[in-house]
Structure 1
Amino acid sequence: MCGRFSLYSSYSTLSQGLKLPLEVAVKLTPRYNVAPGTWITAVRHPTDNEPLVMDEVWWGYRPHWAKEKAPEPINATVEKVATSNYFRGAFAHHRCLVPADGWYEWLPLNGKKQPHFLCREDREPIWLAAIWTERPDGKPGCAILTEPARGVAKEIHPRMPLALDAESLKPWLDPHLTDRETIRQVVHHLDAELITHWPVSTRVNRPTNDEASLIEPLKP
């Protein structure tokens, strides 16, 4: 599951991590409580022959060909994304990256749910694998891929977003790489040993709360 995340790194930090030439069509402002159903920053090729761009996509996936009441998921599982009729076209041709500094998950505790913030131990940005599609309104919408939780992330939730290692970013974004098995061979998730987490304030439960204090460790 990935239903809330943060992105506060500067463009220069993201650019250094991506190490790919790209155009910028979005103004980055720090966001500490990014929720579904909002515009989020993504890196993608708008078409196969257009340069890589960092722009905004709607966090909610509904293809333009889908019926009006079709689902609008925010996540797609790695187990089905390449074979599902709803996702496989985007998996083959419209893959993108969603940069994040960390994400939130909720741990059931004493009848309540305690939010935790998960991020890299070195605090470097994380690149989340995603797919995008042209929505019925003609604008891009995306779903973030999830996989079974690994490492310490398993302590909080059974699933986690698919975070990619540095060598996988370029092939994941390559619109000419469409074969499922080839993609699996050249794209790898981030080492789970790099991930850490800590409990944070339940103020993150409200999407309208959006400030740096949300990611601070909860005081005993």
Structure 2
Amino acid sequence: MCGRFALYSPYPRLSEALRLPLEEAGELTPRYNVAPGTWITVVRHPNDDAPLVMNEAWWGYRPHWAREKAPEPINATVEKVATSNYFRGAFAHHRCLVPADGWYEWLPVEGRKQPHFLCREDREPLWLAGIWSERPDGKPGCAILTEPARGVASEIHDRMPLVLDDKSLEPWLDPHLTDRETIRVVVHHLAAGRFTHWPVSTRVNKPTHDDEGLIESVDA
């Protein structure tokens, strides 16, 4: 799954890494402990003909047409996102990217859970595949896609966010590309060998803790 991540890269670095025309987003506040149920940075087309923007969406997906007590998932699995009644409309028309510098997972160790920070070996920003929809309040809400864990990520958890490679960013964001089989052909995840991880402080367990020390390695 993906239930906590960090984004501390400044806007210029993200814009350069994206390599796509993007409207200026201004300064981003570094966040080392991004939790569900908060506003997070996303890259999306607000509508089919709107320019690409980097703005905020609520991390919790509930489409405007859903009932009041409908679920508000933070993740959607790659196995079901294209076919589920709840997600397939957003998968076809409202895909987005969630920039991150890394994410956290918890490894069971002798009756406790040890958090690990996972990121690219080269420390470049990650682009997590997401979907979004207008919420009942008219504001965007999103979910991050997950897939079976690969490479070193599988040492920590059986799921991981769907991290896209550089060539997949433009087609993933293309609102005019709606056929799911075509999307599967042209969109690819980042190679499994590009990730690394290390144990970090259990301070990350509390979302109120948010500082650079959370991503520093500790003795497990």
Mark yes or no: TM-score above 0.5. yes
Partner of 2:209: 209
Displacement of 1:195 in angstroms is: 0.2
Partner of 2:168: 168
Deviations 1:52-85 (A, max 9, x none): 0000000000000000000000000000000000
Deviations 1:32-71 (A, max 9, x none): 0000000000000000000000000000000000000000
Aligned ranges 1:24-43 → 2 under 5 Å: 24-25=24-25, 27-43=27-43
CA–CA separation in structure 1 for the residues paired with 2:159 and 2:54 = 27
Partner of 1:100: 100
Aligned ranges 1:84-163 → 2 under 5 Å: 84-163=84-163
Q: Is the 8 A contact 2:61 2:135 kept in 1?
A: yes
User: What secondary structure does 1:23 align onto?
Assistant: coil
CA–CA separation in structure 1 for the residues paired with 2:120 and 2:180 = 28
What amino acid sits opposite 1:88 in the alignment?
Answer: R
Partner of 1:45: 45
TM-score if structure 1 supplies the norm length? 0.99
Displacement of 1:24 in angstroms is: 3.0
What amino acid sits opposite 1:44 in the alignment?
Answer: R
Q: Is the 8 A contact 1:24 1:55 kept in 2?
A: no
CA–CA separation in structure 2 for the residues paired with 1:79 and 1:24 = 34
Give RMSD over aligned pairs. 0.8
**Aligned residue pairs: how many?**
220
Structure 2 unaligned regions, length at least 5: none
User: What secondary structure does 2:204 align onto?
Assistant: helix
Partner of 1:5: 5
CA–CA separation in structure 2 for the residues paired with 1:5 and 1:41 = 12
Partner of 1:197: 197
What amino acid sits opposite 1:133 in the alignment?
Answer: S
Structure 1 unaligned regions, length at least 5: none
CA–CA separation in structure 1 for the residues paired with 2:27 and 2:106 = 30
Displacement of 1:16 in angstroms is: 1.1
What amino acid sits opposite 1:90 in the alignment?
Answer: A
1:63 paired with 2:63, answer: yes
Deviations 1:82-120 (A, max 9, x none): 000000000000000000000000001111100000000
What amino acid sits opposite 1:105 in the alignment?
Answer: E
Deviations 1:17-42 (A, max 9, x none): 10001113464110000000000000
Q: Is the 8 A contact 2:152 2:196 kept in 1?
A: yes
Displacement of 1:219 in angstroms is: 3.6
User: What secondary structure does 2:65 align onto?
Assistant: coil
User: What secondary structure does 1:193 align onto?
Assistant: helix
Displacement of 1:12 in angstroms is: 1.1
Deviations 1:175-201 (A, max 9, x none): 000000000000000011010000000
In structure 2, relative to structure 1, the CA distance for the partners of 1:171 and 1:61 (3 Å cut) is same
Q: Is the 8 A contact 2:11 2:25 kept in 1?
A: no
TM-score if structure 2 supplies the norm length? 0.99
